Chain A
């Protein structure tokens, strides 16, 4: 069927990878070994615990543990090898020259991972359902946890592909593989704890507490998978193509969806949102991505320029999502604006309001000033310092150096006063209550002076970045105009030819 006419519309990479994976030695060896290990372990536990009531959870845990090793370890490892192999086997150029888009290539590899995972799940499913007969584990728990493990396996495969595309140097590959193994192990541990909570402690997957926890885990899985997939696709693309746009869009979409979900609480399971920790966490996570975007070379890559919308309005709307350091700052400003609006809207109203948190009159000036100060710090730490590193960023090693320097400077700005506080026995500083600590300044209404200073510095950063930002937009406008001109010329030629 794989080579038949029905497969015409299937992803070519998926078909090729599937043939290779199922025929390759790795899968042929690991699959039966894993299944045998699962069966053997289940029998051993069953014999050991024979006669006890509610044996289900006792047998379920080791089986799902072995399945977890396969789904979170072996399948992502296979995806990593497959992606790295495109460069090692010199097939990358051949793929790039074909009609396959980078996204189709990584999706093909992801689908192969999905099939491998599904095969493992199918092999283990009879064993897992057998634990239901031993009582103590419900069918819903089995199905729900296996589905979650399957999703986690896909997300890990996406992460594996993204990591495999980071470097072509063998030494770096080993480090990245070790990193993948570490993340896989931590995910396995976390998953094991989750499964234990569901089956061993008898909480059940449908209990409100577990639903909340599983919701967060699922969001995390989706986020890692989505961003990993987008990043892996950009690594296959040509350096002059748009290599950061898909990641920018993926992160923004995840950011907006997660914040909306937290604000609207559609299932009523969240209750009161912890605004400060969420704002801090989202700020830090998006900053991790922004570090990469603001340190990109400012120039618009030529192939990306060739795909800018001809419509000037659409071109402007697309600007923050196009590659380039200046447009990275615009992207960062957009994320901060989204986060600011969310934080202000979700904050507890300080005065009585009839229409809840969406009533503008209910927001106090102090709340708005606090969140504005937090965003100001985020802006200064990233955009301000990245501008200072302009000279460095132009060198070949510049982006990498800037990506190391920026977070280091931000962390040092917050941590150094704490260390100094310990040394000079200043209690406030040692507890992080100093003007360089954004989280303290933002939440402490008594620190209104540092807030205003931070906002003023942020405005200064914007002013000093103005040329870079204007240039970033201008480049997009020019590219859009050039496309319109070329299209008009082509039409003219066609009319003449006719």
Chain B
């Protein structure tokens, strides 16, 4: 059973269809990146999954529990980190976490233990007596993540967690999210910073104008778009021989010089590509580099979306 299953949800605001029959799943221990331009319907989808909005149609299941039937049970399993985190003035980090731990009905030693645990996990322990308002944005994001983890949810929904963070804070946040996935939590994370998601996510779901454009593992989605794989080959000597040899191989299209080496486009399976390398070696060529150049997430995003606004 998927930890989070979004099942054909539709949400309209007046005449605007914010989310249109969107379906995908998030598996335990995996990080799913939710990608889309501004106003694509990411936040609405996440808020529906977090029980804060209701879909006009469809349903969202968390460990098989419907957000429509039992929102309270869903909230117990869910950690939601909204894009605008809430801060209370005149409150220290420890008090903030203690308050939310109480709000999740954690009592006595268990509450204190959990607060200590999340403070340690997010490396905020030394700052526990600091007031929230004096924290940097990166630390506030970490505190918000700590708050989200207090009741040990099995599913995490993180809406733009890396927005506005400096590179170091981003790296730290990425490490934290990866560590959480390592604990078996299912994580749905949206971000505009695609390089960030590329390094973090196992799966992606691409949404535009309320409609899901693609979903699946990063590799599968990339392969789905990328019919031909550009491959760079460099040999010790005999570039002309290399060009001719490549043109004789099955699946090889368009061969061109690229600096010291050659780039060819390959339209076959990975097995066929491996056969190309074997054939080159058999032909007496001595390759020193043989690198398939895949699309990055930014290429995937640009290829899938049309820049539609709504």
Contact = CB atoms under 8 A, between A and B. Distances in A.
A99 B153 CA distance: 13
A93 B91 CA distance: 18
A23 interface: yes
B91 A95 contact: no
Interface in A1-55: 3, 5, 8-9, 12-13, 15-16, 19-20, 23-24
Contact of B50 (A19, A97, A99): A97
A299 interface: no
A361 interface: no
B87 A89 contact: yes
A90 B50 CA distance: 15
Given A91-B86, A97-B80, A16 B99 contact: yes
B68 A97 contact: no
Interface residues of B, number: 35
A99 B95 contact: no
B91 A20 contact: yes
Contacts of B241: none
Interface in B82-108: 82, 84-91, 95, 98-100, 102-105, 107-108
B91 A8 contact: no
B52 A16 contact: no
B86 A100 contact: no
B251 interface: no
B259 interface: no
A90 B202 CA distance: 31
Given A23-B90, A91-B88, A99 B105 contact: yes
Nearest to A104: B103
A15 B99 contact: yes
A373 B95 CA distance: 60
A306 B68 CA distance: 8
A396 B14 CA distance: 8
A302 B107 CA distance: 32
Given A90-B85, A98-B104, A302 B95 contact: no
B49 to A, nearest CB: 12
Interface string B107-127: 110010000000000000000
B71 interface: yes
Interface string A93-111: 1111111100000000000
A303 interface: yes
A20 B90 contact: yes
B103 A99 contact: yes
Contact of B75 (A15, A97, A486): A97
B48 to A, nearest CB: 12
Contacts of A95: 103
Interface residues of A, number: 32
B146 interface: no
A8 B91 CA distance: 19
A3 B104 contact: no
Contacts of B85: 90, 94
A256 B68 CA distance: 36
Nearest to B51: A97
Nearest to B105: A99
B52 A97 contact: yes
Given A24-B89, A94-B147, A302-B68, A100 B103 contact: yes
A94 B104 contact: no
B166 interface: no
B99 A93 contact: no
Contacts of B214: none
Contacts of B50: 97
Given A15-B99, A96-B52, A97-B75, A306 B69 contact: yes
A84 B42 CA distance: 27
A93 B50 CA distance: 10
Contacts of B108: 5, 8
A240 interface: yes
A8 to B, nearest CB: 4
A89 B140 CA distance: 14
A92 B80 CA distance: 13
Contacts of B71: 238, 303
Nearest to B79: A97
Contact of B86 (A93, A240, A396): A93
B14 A98 contact: no
Given A12-B102, A91-B88, 17 more contacts: A15-B99, A19-B91, A20-B89, A20-B91, A23-B90, A90-B84, A92-B86, A94-B82, A97-B50, A98-B100, A98-B103, A98-B104, A99-B72, A100-B103, A306-B68, A306-B69, A486-B69
5 contacts: A8-B111, A20-B91, A90-B86, A98-B104, A396-B14
Interface of B: 14, 50-52, 54, 68-72, 75-76, 78, 80, 82, 84-91, 95, 98-100, 102-105, 107-108, 111, 147
Interface of A: 3, 5, 8-9, 12-13, 15-16, 19-20, 23-24, 86, 89-100, 238, 240, 302-303, 306, 396, 486
State the 6 A-B residue pairs at the shortest beta-carbon distance, nearest first. A91-B86, A12-B102, A98-B103, A16-B99, A90-B84, A23-B90
